């Protein structure tokens, strides 16, 4: 069983600021670092660090080749990543005094994935394999179609959420992953009442399993009319970048390894807690031995 993550590859420029920049404001930062990132790359790192056989597909500029080297050091196979002369995707990330983040994305190569490249990638995958996706690359509908035709299971992280998500064949997706804002977008309701949001997601997507992350309120899993809850495992917070990606990677890895839903939620929470206690994106993600016992 293989995991194909067809996902984004970004250069993250991370700025430490006293507060998020207001409109019309010029604000000095107290620090800046360049990291490898992108939801896709972060999730591949988490999946590989958990011990799975992971292949990453996507497109990146020559300015981002250091990301491929880093992913390779974690065990991610990047043979399906196309390197082009165009700019890589990048993110400008503000980290405020409370350690929360605000992110501005430029898609770059992530939105230049060609149909012929997709056709070639899926020649190497088939029934029993998993496809992991996020909403940060183009041609998602075609990628999902190829995975469905190949008999693959699909895990789709509907982030960042926009109206185009509703046009995708979500009924064929085995696992949808959202936070409360993305979940409200899918359900067409407010994110303020968590119980109502859970009820609406379960009602609107009865054929899907849904993983709903709720920040400091933990997470829940919705499937077949049942709901499982998991509190956070509290660690000192240094940097929340990649916390959600770590959660997704370790939850899926736990389920593939045969753990039940509640145990998978626990391990994902443990991994995410460790990640937020460290600085950086994929560098902060723990390895398998730190999470499983």
Select from 3.50.50.60, 2.40.50.180, 3.40.1190.20, 3.40.50.300 the CATH code of 3-8+39-58+73-82+126-291. 3.40.1190.20
Which phi and psi angles does 7 have, rounded to 5°?
-145, 180
Contact 7, 43 (CB under 8 A): yes
Can you give the pLDDT at residue 210? 98
Average of pLDDT values for 212-225?
Answer: 95
- CA dist 159 to 42, 134, 178, 183, 245, Å? 13, 6, 7, 10, 10
Can you give the pLDDT at residue 255? 97
At 208, list the tokens.
């899907």
Can you give the pLDDT at residue 89? 95
Residue 62 exposure: Cα atoms within 13 Å on the Cβ side: 3
Can you give the pLDDT at residue 230? 98
For 123-155, b/e burial (b = at least 16 CB within 10 A) is eebeeebbbbbbbbbebbeebbbbbeebebbbb
Can you give the pLDDT at residue 78? 98
- Vertex 183 angle, CA 181 and 189, to 5°: 85
Can you give the pLDDT at residue 125? 98
Contact 232, 266 (CB under 8 A): no
- pTM given for the model: 0.91
At 156, list the tokens.
């789709």
pLDDT in tens, 33-83: 888 989 999 999 999 999 999 999 999 999 999 999 999 999 999 999 999
Lowest mean pLDDT among 89-103, 114-128, 131-145, 239-253: 89-103
Can you give the pLDDT at residue 3? 98
Can you give the pLDDT at residue 224? 93
* Edge-to-edge order in the sheet of strand 226-230: 77-84, 54-61, 3-6, 130-134, 153-157, 175-179, 209-213, 219-223, 226-230
> Mean pLDDT, the chain, as a whole number?
95
pLDDT in tens, 107-128: 999 999 999 999 999 999 999 9
pLDDT in tens, 153-200: 999 999 999 999 999 999 999 999 999 999 999 999 998 899 999 999
Q: Taking the C-alpha atoms of 186, 272, 102 and 55 in order, what is their torsion angle to the nearest 10 degrees?
A: -70
Q: What are the structural domain ranges in the chain?
A: 3-8+39-58+73-82+126-291
- List helix spans (H) across 97-242: 115-121, 140-150, 180-187, 194-204
Can you give the pLDDT at residue 239? 87
Can you give the pLDDT at residue 91? 86
At 115, list the tokens.
């149909």
Can you give the pLDDT at residue 281? 84
Can you give the pLDDT at residue 73? 97
Lowest mean pLDDT among 97-111, 168-182, 203-217: 97-111
Can you give the pLDDT at residue 205? 95
Asked, as a colleague might, if the bond just before 40 is cis with ω within 30 of 0, I would say: no
Contact 2, 131 (CB under 8 A): no
- CA dist 110 to 2, 77, 137, 206, 272, Å? 22, 18, 5, 31, 25
* Edge-to-edge order in the sheet of strand 101-106: 31-37, 10-16, 89-95, 101-106
Residue 293 CB neighbour total at 10 angstroms: 6
Which phi and psi angles does 36 have, rounded to 5°?
-80, 135
């Amino acid at each position: 069983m293989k995991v194909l993550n067809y996902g984004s590859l970004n250069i993250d420029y991370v700025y430490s600021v006293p507060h998020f920049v207001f409109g019309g404001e010029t604000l000095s930062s107290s620090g800046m670092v360049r990291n490898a990132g992108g939801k896709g790359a972060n999730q591949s790192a988490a999946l590989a660090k958990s011990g799975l056989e992971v292949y990453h597909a996507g497109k990146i500029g020559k300015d981002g080749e250091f990301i491929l080297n880093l992913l390779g050091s974690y065990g991610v196979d990047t043979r399906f990543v196309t390197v082009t002369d165009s700019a890589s995707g990048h993110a400008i990330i503000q980290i405020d005094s409370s350690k929360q983040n605000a992110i501005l994305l430029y898609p770059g190569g992530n939105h230049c994935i060609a149909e012929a490249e997709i056709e070639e990638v899926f020649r190497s995958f088939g029934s029993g394999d998993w496809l992991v996706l996020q909403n940060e690359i183009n041609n998602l509908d075609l990628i999902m179609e190829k995975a469905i035709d190949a008999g693959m299971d699909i895990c789709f992280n509907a982030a960042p959420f926009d109206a185009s998500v509703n046009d995708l064949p979500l009924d064929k997706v085995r696992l949808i992953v959202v936070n409360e804002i993305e979940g409200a977008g899918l359900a067409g309701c407010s994110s303020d009442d968590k119980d109502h949001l859970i009820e609406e997601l379960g009602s609107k997507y009865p054929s899907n399993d849904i993983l709903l992350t709720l920040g400091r309120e933990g997470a829940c899993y919705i499937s077949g009319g049942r709901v499982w809850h998991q509190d956070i495992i509290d660690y000192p917070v240094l940097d929340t970048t990649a916390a959600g990606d770590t959660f997704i990677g370790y939850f899926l890895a736990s389920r593939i390894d045969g753990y039940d839903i509640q145990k998978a939620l626990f391990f994902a929470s443990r991994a995410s807690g460790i990640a937020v206690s460290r600085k950086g994106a994929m560098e902060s993600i723990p390895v398998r031995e730190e999470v499983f016992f």
